[in-house]
Amino acid sequence: MSRSAQYLTEVAKYGANNYKPLPVVLERGEGAWVWDVDGKKYLDCLSAYSAVNQGHCHPAIVKAAQEQAGRMTLTSRAFHNDQMGPFLHQLCDLAGFAKALPMNSGAEAVETAIKAVRKWGYKVKGIPANKAEIIVSAGNFHGRTTTIISFSTEEQYKDGFGPLTPGFKIIPFGDADALEKAITPNTCAFLTEPLQGEAGVIVAPVGWLKKVRDICTRHNVLWVDDEIQTGLGRTGKMFAWQWEGARPDAVIVGKAVAGGMYPVSAFLADENVMGVFKPGDHGSTFGGNPFGAAIGRVALKVLVDEKLADRAQELGTWFMDELRKIKTSSVVEVRGKGLLIGVEIKVEAGSARPYCEALAERGILCKETHDQVVRFAPPLTVSKADLQWALPKIAEVLAMSFAPAMAAAH
pLDDT at 405: 62
Distance of CA 43 to the CA centre of its chain: 20
Percent of the chain with pLDDT strictly greater than 70:
99
Beta strands in 147-258 (DSSP E): 168-171, 187-192, 195-196, 202-203, 222-226, 250-253
pLDDT at 334: 98
Q: How confident is the model at residue 214 (pLDDT cuts 50, 70, 90)?
A: very high
Residue 51 has pLDDT above 60, yes or no: yes
pLDDT at 409: 38
Burial of 159 (0-12, 13-18, 19+ CB in 10 A): exposed
- Residue 181, H or E segment: helix 176-182
Q: What is the DSSP letter of 242?
A: G
Q: Which entry of 87, 141, 190, 319 is annotated as an active-site residue?
A: 141
At residue 122, the 3 state secondary structure works out as: helix
Q: Which entry of 119, 211, 255, 337 is annotated as an active-site residue?
A: 255
Catalytic site residue 281?
Answer: no
Catalytic site residue 141?
Answer: yes
| pLDDT per position as a tens digit, 139-164 | 999 999 999 999 999 999 999 999 99
| pLDDT per position as a tens digit, 289-301 | 999 999 999 999 9
Domains and CATH numbers, the chain: 3-54+307-398 (3.90.1150.10), 59-305 (3.40.640.10)
| pLDDT per position as a tens digit, 394-403 | 999 999 999 8
Residue 122 has pLDDT above 50, yes or no: yes
| pLDDT per position as a tens digit, 353-395 | 999 999 999 999 999 999 999 999 999 999 999 999 999 999 9
Q: Which entry of 226, 239, 291, 376 is annotated as an active-site residue?
A: 226
Quote the CA–CA distance of 355 and 310 in Å, as a whole number.
Answer: 29
Position 155: which residue type? E
Quote the CA–CA distance of 327 and 102 in Å, as a whole number.
Answer: 46
